């Protein structure tokens, strides 16, 4: 049975997964890029960005896990881009240039319909207007038996947590204080229910927490 997985979702010590004031100039919010310094230092992340070098070890192992066995993705509109409301400018095709790093179908949650956008390297963005379950059904079908990766942002992950649909959630806690922004565990009636901690390990750069649905074996 295909799983819905979250990988490398990085949280500050004060609980934020993005900084305040997200915008075209600050897609991760003010100082939000500090959250991901641990990840961008790894060999796998650098390779995905077309760069050489990078560090091996625990952090790299977690980044690499997110690239294995995934056949489709889901993200919220806030992660896809800064545009709100109707798609008046369909020239926007995401933050990632002509060749996004996904290389499979990605389903973007939105309230406003838009035709699919096909990019270089095998990525096609599909825009889903009928909710999280419809997006998951379409992603599972497109994944061809592989798992589906949920990329974010915070509000999108919250929706899937509330619905109990996430099977495997990897959080990386970075030694950063942001003081504001988007909090992951807000609006969950006290927190995610029905999840067990399957892993808790640390590197000098991040603490990695992996939560799985309680019915699953680690």
Core vs surface per residue 80-97: b (16+ CB within 10 A) or e: bbebeeebeeeeebbeee
Q: Which two three-digit tokens encode residue 84?
A: 């709100």
- The structural domains of the chain, with segments of one domain joined by +, span 4-82+99-213
pLDDT surpasses 80 at 191: no
pLDDT surpasses 90 at 212: yes
Q: Of the ranges 62-71, 94-103, 115-124, 182-191, which one carries the lowest mean pLDDT score?
A: 182-191
User: d(Cα 35, Cα 17) in Å, to the nearest integer?
Assistant: 8
Give the model's pLDDT for residue 177.
Answer: 95
Going through the chain in order, the beta strands assigned E by DSSP cover: 4-11, 16-18, 70-76, 105-109, 117-118, 124-128, 147-150, 168-173, 182-183, 195-202, 207-213
Percent of the chain with pLDDT over 90: 71
Give the model's pLDDT for residue 20.
Answer: 81
User: d(Cα 45, Cα 30) in Å, to the nearest integer?
Assistant: 22
What pTM was computed for the model? 0.92
Single out the residue of 215, 159, 165, 209 nearest to residue 187, CA to CA. Answer: 159
Model confidence pLDDT, tens digit, residues 135-154: 999 999 999 999 999 998 89
Q: Which residue in this structure is represented by tokens 């956008």?
A: 117
pLDDT surpasses 90 at 106: yes
pLDDT surpasses 90 at 41: yes
4-82+99-213: CATH class: alpha beta
Say if CB 187 and CB 44 are below 8 A apart.
Answer: no
The per-residue pLDDT of the chain, averaged, comes to: 92
Q: What is the CA radius of gyration of the chain?
A: 17
Give the model's pLDDT for residue 217.
Answer: 46
Q: How many CB atoms are closer than 10 A to CB 204?
A: 9
pLDDT surpasses 90 at 91: no
Mean pLDDT of 23-52: 89
Give the model's pLDDT for residue 28.
Answer: 81
Give the model's pLDDT for residue 206.
Answer: 98
E strand or H helix at 161: helix 154-162
Give the model's pLDDT for residue 190.
Answer: 60
State the DSSP code for 108.
E
Identify how many contiguous H helices and E strands the chain contains and give both numbers.
6, 11
State the DSSP code for 41.
T
Q: Which two three-digit tokens encode residue 12?
A: 């500050």
């Amino acid at each position: 049975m295909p799983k819905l997985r979250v990988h490398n979702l990085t949280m500050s010590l004060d609980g934020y997964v993005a900084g305040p004031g997200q915008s075209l100039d600050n897609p991760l919010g003010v100082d939000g890029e500090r959250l991901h310094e641990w990840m961008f230092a790894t060999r796998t992340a650098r390779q995905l960005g077309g760069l050489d070098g990078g560090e091996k070890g625990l952090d790299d192992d977690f980044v690499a896990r997110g690239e294995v066995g995934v056949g489709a993705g889901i993200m919220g509109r806030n992660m896809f881009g800064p545009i709100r409301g109707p798609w008046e400018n369909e020239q926007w095709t995401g933050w990632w240039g002509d060749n996004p790093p996904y290389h499979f179908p990605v389903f973007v949650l939105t309230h406003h319909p838009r035709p699919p956008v096909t990019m270089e390297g095998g990525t096609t963005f599909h825009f889903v207007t009928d909710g999280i379950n419809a997006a998951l059904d379409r992603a599972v079908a497109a994944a061809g038996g592989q798992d589906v990766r949920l990329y974010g942002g915070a509000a999108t992950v919250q929706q899937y947590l509330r619905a109990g649909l996430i099977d495997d959630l990897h959080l990386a806690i970075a030694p950063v204080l942001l003081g504001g922004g988007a909090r992951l565990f807000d609006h969950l009636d006290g927190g995610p229910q029905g999840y067990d901690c399957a892993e808790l390990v640390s590197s000098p750069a991040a603490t990695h927490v992996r939560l799985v649905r309680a019915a699953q074996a680690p």
